[in-house]
Amino acid sequence: MKAVVLLGGEGTRLRPLTYTTPKQLLPVVEVPMLERVLTHLRAHGVDEVVLSLGYRPDAFFAAYPDHEAVGVRLDYAVEPEPLDTAGAIAFAAGHAGIDETFIVVNGDVLSDVDTSALVAFHRSHGATATIHLKAVDDPTRFGVVPTDADGRVIEFVEKPPADKVPTNLINAGTYVLEPEVLARIPAGRRVSVERETFPALAAHGEVFAMASDAYWLDTGTPAAYLQANADLLNGSRPGLPAPGARQVSVGVWTLGAPVVRGEVHGPSLLGSGAQIAHDATVTASVIGARAVVERAAHVENSVLLPGARVGVRARVVGSILGHDCVVAAGCELSPVTVVGDDVEVPEGAHLVDARVPAEMAS
């Protein structure tokens, strides 16, 4: 089966990390987010994927030059201009010559939905389009999708006020589509699948939806990105936190051979070549490959991307450090601070909910 993975967004909420790395290539417990999405698709019979690219397509070409990842064949469709969701789907599917039932997912959404069951539901209902729905506590921030008893979509309601919410089920961003949908997406302009294509199909009774309580997370914010990592470490998602991870003590996992002279408390993972110095402490964090936590430093509820360094007596709490950045001695970083790739935070700096882009490097 074939799928389209939408990857065109610039990831503005995850800046400065996304100045240099598209968000879907950011690691979630040492595995690129996109590869986690592809692994899930492969488990449900998808063997060919079209990557719908807009922002930094070169990064994806470099990451997967052989047009393959985790056993899935890849094709690349680079939008000539931003086409919005429906436009991107039509462009990518047309590029790949898709002419059969196919799946669409967002590359920055991590989900354990039973995609095989979604496809079976789609076919049994004779749907033109089928949407995965997820119940949320606050549906006012999303597009909600009321259905009838058979699962047929009644309407789409975008960010309803609290006193007029028809359901707490939101569009979770996984779709099963028939190829005839593509002919109903106007070419040459931006078209939203959520606001234009699906409502038009629903008006003719052609859209169905299946709700699921499976794990689902939109990783688009720093807080959500931290949660995506934590959920794999604390067991909110089943299985190993990363392929090849080894549990060396309760809740503490390693990849490769990190060097640990300080204390590490779970749930945490140390990547290959990571170093935790004497008197340093790490708690509930991902310390990426080659990352270093120096003497008497403290890292908690954080993610250090590969090569990051935390200096002597520095404290990093609830924060994200980019590739090969340096947090110098005596710094204090509090939630949710995000430091970009190759940035050096000067000695003694105190940052709270800060964003430190490359152009602010000292």
Does residue 360 register a pLDDT over 90?
no
β-bridge partners, 276: 260, 293
Does 111 lie in the same domain as 45?
yes
CA-wise closest residue to 183 among 194, 171, 197, 173: 197
Does 209 lie in the same domain as 292?
no
Give the pLDDT band (50/70/90) at residue 58. very high
CB-count exposure of residue 177 (10 Å: 0-12, 13-18, 19+):
buried
Give the pLDDT score at 312. 97
pTM of this prediction?
0.92
Average pLDDT over residues 61-87: 94
% pLDDT > 90, the chain: 83
Does 179 lie in the same domain as 52?
yes
Does 151 lie in the same domain as 193?
yes
What dihedral angle (degrees, nearest 10) is formed by the CA atoms of 95, 97, 98, 100? 170
Is 244 in contact with 165 (CB distance < 8 Å)? no
In angstroms, the CA 46 to CA 71 distance is 10
The model's pLDDT over 149-196, given as tens digits with 9 standing for 90+, comes to 999 999 888 888 888 888 889 889 999 999 999 999 998 889 999 889
Element (H, E) at 316: strand 315-317
Give the pLDDT band (50/70/90) at residue 358. very low
CATH code for position 197: 3.90.550.10
% pLDDT > 70, the chain: 99
The model's pLDDT over 112-122, given as tens digits with 9 standing for 90+, comes to 999 999 999 99
Does 246 lie in the same domain as 195?
no
What does DSSP say about strands 332-334 and 350-352: parallel, antiparallel, or unpaired? parallel
Does residue 286 register a pLDDT over 80?
yes
Does 342 lie in the same domain as 251?
yes
Give the pLDDT band (50/70/90) at residue 11. confident
In angstroms, the CA 333 to CA 336 distance is 8
Task: Indicate the residue among 167, 193, 218 that finishes a domain.
Answer: 218
Range of lowest pLDDT (12-16, 157-161, 170-174, 284-288): 157-161
Say how many residues make up the chain: 362
Give, as one character, the DSSP assignment of residue 197.
Answer: I
Question: Hey, how many other C-beta atoms are within 10 angstroms of the C-beta on 170?
Answer: 23
Does residue 135 register a pLDDT over 50?
yes
What does DSSP say about strands 315-317 and 332-334: parallel, antiparallel, or unpaired? parallel
Give the pLDDT score at 284. 97
Written as six digits, the tokens of 80 are 């000539």
Give the pLDDT band (50/70/90) at residue 48. very high
In angstroms, the CA 140 to CA 165 distance is 7
Q: Give the total number of structural domains in the chain.
A: 2
User: Which sign does the torsion angle of CA 74, 183, 40, 21 carry?
Assistant: positive
The model's pLDDT over 20-41, given as tens digits with 9 standing for 90+, comes to 999 999 999 999 999 999 999 9
Sequence-separated (6 or more) residues with CB below 8 Å from residue 303: 225, 226, 229, 285, 286, 288, 320, 321
Does 115 lie in the same domain as 39?
yes
Element (H, E) at 210: strand 207-211
The model's pLDDT over 243-283, given as tens digits with 9 standing for 90+, comes to 999 999 999 999 999 999 999 998 999 999 999 999 999 99
CATH code for position 261: 2.160.10.10
Task: Indicate the residue among 162, 187, 218 that finishes a domain.
Answer: 218
Is 121 in contact with 208 (CB distance < 8 Å)? yes
Catalytic residue among 2, 23, 134, 159: 159
Average pLDDT in the chain: 93
Element (H, E) at 132: strand 129-135
Find how far residue 157's CA is from the centre of its chain.
24
Is 148 in contact with 166 (CB distance < 8 Å)? no
Give the pLDDT score at 156. 87
Does 115 lie in the same domain as 23?
yes
Does residue 198 register a pLDDT over 50?
yes
Give the pLDDT score at 158. 81
The model's pLDDT over 81-117, given as tens digits with 9 standing for 90+, comes to 889 999 999 999 999 999 999 999 999 999 999 999 9
Q: Which residue has the tokens 């590869």?
A: 35
Does residue 8 register a pLDDT over 90?
no
Does 231 lie in the same domain as 338?
yes
Does 230 lie in the same domain as 214?
no
CA-wise closest residue to 102 among 123, 124, 71, 77: 123
Task: Indicate the residue among 191, 218, 245 that finishes a domain.
Answer: 218
Give the pLDDT score at 261. 96
Is 247 in contact with 253 (CB distance < 8 Å)? yes
Does 142 lie in the same domain as 29?
yes
Give the pLDDT score at 159. 82
Does 135 lie in the same domain as 8?
yes
User: Whole domain around residue 139: which residue ranges?
Assistant: 2-218
Residue 134 known to be catalytic? no
